[in-house]
Amino acid sequence: MKYIQVYALSLMSVFLTSCGKDNIKSEINDIGPNIMVRNIKKGTNGTILIAGPNNLSFGDVFRYDARLQEGQGKSFTNLTGKIGSHRFWDVLEDRRGNIWFATTDSGVYYYNGKSIQHFTTTEGLANNRVMSVYEDKAGIIWFGTGGGISRYDGKTFRNFTSPNAPLFYKEGHLNNDITTIIEDKTGKLWVGTRGDAFVYDGKKFTTLTHKGEPFLDVWGIMEDRKGNIWLSGFNGFKVSQTGGLWRYDGSTFTKVSERGAYAIIQDKKGNIWTTGSVNPANPRIQAVSRYDAKSLYGEKPIVTEIMSGRAFFGILEANDGNIWFGDATGVYRYDGKIITDFYNKGGQKKYIIDTKQSVVVWKGSMLLGAWEGSKLLSDGSITGDVDILKGELLIENSHVVGGAIEVDMNTIERKYDHPGPHNKLPDFFDVKKIPVSTFAITKVKTGNDGNIKVTGNLTIEGITKAVTFPAKMDFMDGMDGTVVLNGTLIIDRTDWGIDYRFEKFFDKSGDLTISDEVKLFMKIVAKRNQSIHQIQ
């Protein structure tokens, strides 16, 4: 029989399972965004601005500078890494060279190259949820917010809330949830919303309708060289059957394609490019599509799928004619022949566990609690922690696919609420025999909610068992620098031969019996091994 105190064992087990600011500085990294790219915009001097969530919760804005060649600097610069964790959605570099960062949780940030200013509802913004930022010909900045449109002239805000009467969603709040804003050649603003799309001529708002029905849930609007307006949305009450790509010539709407569009652009050759669903009835199938310029105004335009997948968002033609587009896993460049993936998803990347920032905590309890009358004084819980010796996680396509961790059992220590000397280890636990416990990941399954289930081999005191536990992983510092994995493993300690005062011993020990179940809580912080990754 092996004698080991439950809390010490618990700790071991836990281990094994773990698989406004005034100034701003830029952070330079060697790769692009690794998860979600919402919008791509042109910056000055041929630079490209890329905005969107960079992990499951928050995000960053990056600048790509093609002029930075090998030996002269790295191409991607994180512009928002020092602002804090926010859901950056859109970006704009205005004619003066100032950069505007739109967030869906904290209003707008304005960066003039030296300092940053924060605009929220306190400063006059209509709503702190901002999904679109646009500069018109006069230099006025327009913000599409969750509470209407905000107009900023450099000094004050003017807000347009509930600008047009709802035709379809009678409650009207979706009409205030603005998705995109553009200005046409005549100075009119075309506005997409999650409700009814509309036009603003400087005096009145007019809902866009076709056959008496409004266009709903419009995310992409574009004016082509001939002055036609292109948009994607649903027209009519049978929205699942009436979505697609539409063209407006000033008097008539023409349905060009059943394909939807999150974003729409026209390249220098006159081709129309879109990102979005192939069929509105099945939005899970999406593509980057090119409509041939010569066939645009025919009955059946020629459409070429450049890339297909599950989610595509922002798209841009760079000064050199290359097409940039974003999806749920990063940013891509298409030169007419080759698609370059700037996250280098074709291969595993090694993340080294930071043993100082990572934490493993175990928790065990007595089988019976301690009572004083009808008051429960304690459930007999015992907690402690243990040091990680070393470890690594293997990441591929933004997902954990493998890894291993080693725990130093000599460091097992129980936590006490009161100060004073305490024994770090029970006398009956011989850590000199097998002082290191290990956990090796063998399988990781991702759920629909983005959380994962980690399966691996847990070895304690020379005994190896397969275990599975739920966890969550996030990229925390933008791009590809740091991964944080949180998980909780529950084990039966007797499976590893740890039976000190185990539950079958209850008849002899009574209230001194320790529960067989042990919970292991872990926070694993791992940083990418910079030496093994090269930008494509």
Indicate if 333 and 354 belong to the same structural domain. no
Indicate if 284 and 353 belong to the same structural domain. no
Confirm whether 35 is domain-assigned.
Answer: no
Indicate if 296 and 357 belong to the same structural domain. no
What tens digit of pLDDT does each residue of 161-186 get? 877 777 777 666 888 899 999 999 99
- Residue 68 confidence (pLDDT): 64
In sequence order, what are the beta bridge partners of 244? Answer: 233
Residues 6+ apart with CB under 8 A from 517: 364, 490, 491, 492, 493
Mapped onto helix, strand or coil, the DSSP state of residue 257 is strand
- Residue 279 confidence (pLDDT): 78
Task: Please say whether the beta carbons of 54 and 35 come within 8 A.
Answer: yes
Indicate if 463 and 436 belong to the same structural domain. yes
What tens digit of pLDDT does each residue of 71-92 get? 455 578 888 878 887 889 999 9
Task: Please say whether the beta carbons of 211 and 205 come within 8 A.
Answer: no
In sequence order, what are the beta bridge partners of 527? Answer: 352, 482
Report the number of secondary-structure helices (H) and strands (E) in the chain: 3, 41
What tens digit of pLDDT does each residue of 85-111 get? 788 999 999 999 999 999 999 999 999
Lowest mean pLDDT across 158-167, 221-230, 344-353, 515-524: 344-353
Mapped onto helix, strand or coil, the DSSP state of residue 295 is helix
Task: Please say whether the beta carbons of 288 and 325 come within 8 A.
Answer: yes
Confirm whether 287 is domain-assigned.
Answer: yes
With residue 29 as reference, give the H or E element that holds it: strand 27-29
The domain spanning residue 330 has which CATH number? Answer: 2.130.10.10
Indicate if 328 and 215 belong to the same structural domain. yes
Confirm whether 29 is domain-assigned.
Answer: no
Average pLDDT, the chain: 80
Indicate if 140 and 175 belong to the same structural domain. yes
Task: Please say whether the beta carbons of 409 and 437 come within 8 A.
Answer: yes
Please state, in angstroms and rounded to a whole number, the distance separating the CA atoms of residues 485 and 471: 7
**Model confidence band, residue 477 (pLDDT cutoffs 50, 70, 90):** low
Lowest mean pLDDT across 300-304, 343-347, 356-360, 499-503: 343-347
Across 428-450, b (16+ Cβ under 10 Å) vs e yields: ebebeeeeebbbbbeebeeeeee
- Residue 117 confidence (pLDDT): 94
- Residue 504 confidence (pLDDT): 63
**Model confidence band, residue 517 (pLDDT cutoffs 50, 70, 90):** confident
**Closest alpha carbon to 34 in 526, 481, 529, 527:** 481
Confirm whether 438 is domain-assigned.
Answer: yes
Indicate if 449 and 509 belong to the same structural domain. yes
- Please say if the pLDDT value at position 7 is more than 50: no
Confirm whether 382 is domain-assigned.
Answer: yes
Confirm whether 37 is domain-assigned.
Answer: no
- Residue 344 confidence (pLDDT): 60
Whole-prediction pTM: 0.67
Residue ending a domain, among 286, 316, 341, is: 341
Summarize the confidence of residues 351-378 as an average pLDDT.
80
In sequence order, what are the beta bridge partners of 465? Answer: 458
**Of 150 and 492, more confident:** 150
Residue ending a domain, among 308, 341, 374, is: 341
Radius of gyration of the chain (CA): 29
- Residue 348 confidence (pLDDT): 72
- Domain residues for 465? 6-19+348-532
Residues 6+ apart with CB under 8 A from 468: 453, 454, 455
Indicate if 353 and 426 belong to the same structural domain. yes
Indicate if 394 and 289 belong to the same structural domain. no
Q: How far is CA 324 from CA 47, 77, 283, 321, 533, in A?
A: 12, 17, 22, 9, 22
**Of 420 and 121, more confident:** 121
Residues 6+ apart with CB under 8 A from 306: 287, 288, 289, 290, 323, 334, 339
Lowest mean pLDDT across 215-219, 270-274, 363-367, 459-463: 363-367
- Residue 519 confidence (pLDDT): 86
- Please say if the pLDDT value at position 293 is more than 90: yes
Indicate if 381 and 509 belong to the same structural domain. yes
Please state, in angstroms and rounded to a whole number, the distance separating the CA atoms of residues 289 and 271: 10
Confirm whether 105 is domain-assigned.
Answer: no
Neighbour tally for 411: CB within 10 Å: 17
Indicate if 120 and 215 belong to the same structural domain. yes
DSSP 433-488: TS-EEEEEEEEEEE-TTS-EEEEEEEEETTEEEEEEEEEEEEE-SSTTSEEEEEEE
Residue ending a domain, among 305, 322, 341, is: 341
Confirm whether 155 is domain-assigned.
Answer: yes
- Please say if the pLDDT value at position 367 is more than 60: yes
Exposed (0-12), middle (13-18) or buried (19+): which is 131, by Cβ within 10 Å?
Answer: buried
Q: How many residues does the chain have?
A: 536
Indicate if 488 and 438 belong to the same structural domain. yes
Please state, in angstroms and rounded to a whole number, the distance separating the CA atoms of residues 107 and 184: 26
The domain spanning residue 400 has which CATH number? Answer: 2.40.128.110
> For the chain, how many structural domains are there in total?
2
Mapped onto helix, strand or coil, the DSSP state of residue 240 is helix
Q: Six-digit token pair at 178?
A: 């603005």
